[in-house]
Amino acid sequence: MKTNIVIALLSIAAVLAWTDISAAQTAASPAPKVQLPSGETVWDLSGDWEALIENYGPGARHGTGTNVYRLTQTGSTFHAIRMNDDPLLTKEVAEHGHAPWGRAGSPSLQGEAEGTGFKHVQIVYGSGGRVLPSTGHISEDGKKIIVDNGLYIRVTLTRP
């Protein structure tokens, strides 16, 4: 009889421990989504994102930098502004006459979300002088975005 009670208590303890472990693993919830008037559901991209800006190929001389992008979404369309001046901005303009970097408050991305990705997305180069058609990918949990124009600049956004 005592053995049966001990086995039952150990079984209950094991089930409770397993439940706590499974709940901890699923605690990280995906980013929020919004439902459009059409009934389609898209990622809610609004908010501040940590940005890694990588220049490669012909743009490699401009290097790599970081910033914070504030995305604002209305329905499926969105735009982003830079929250900080890039520290290399003055040096790049002095040396090359232009820079891929922008000033705080200048546009950085724009586009339209569709389903779990983008209908279209564009990188806004510099302080808004050029719009670069790009391709983009949103991670399965909606917390990471990679936008690349395929020629010389890639922006990786991560929700903090």
pLDDT digits (tens, 9 = 90+) for 70-91: 999 999 999 999 999 876 665 6
Query: Is 57 a member of any domain?
Result: yes
Beta-carbon contacts of residue 51 (< 8 Å; ≥ 6 apart): 66, 67, 68, 69, 82, 108, 155, 156, 157
The residue with greater pLDDT, 114 or 7, is: 114
Residue 59 covered by a domain: yes
Q: Determine the pLDDT at residue 123.
A: 95
Range of the domain at 102: 33-158
Q: What is the CATH number of the domain that holds 141?
A: 2.40.128.120
- At 131 the three-state DSSP class reads strand
pTM for this one? 0.76
Strand, coil or helix: what is 71? strand
Report how far apart the first and last C-alpha atoms of the chain are (Å, whole number).
55
pLDDT of amino acid 52: 95
Does residue 48 have a pLDDT over 80? yes
Residue 26 has pLDDT above 80, yes or no: no
Instruction: With respect to residue 6, please indicate whether it lies within any of the assigned structural domains.
Output: no
Residue 144's pLDDT band, with cuts at 50, 70 and 90, is very high
Q: How confident is residue 43, by pLDDT bands cut at 50, 70 and 90?
A: very high
7 in a structural domain: no
- When divided into structural domains, the chain yields a total of 1
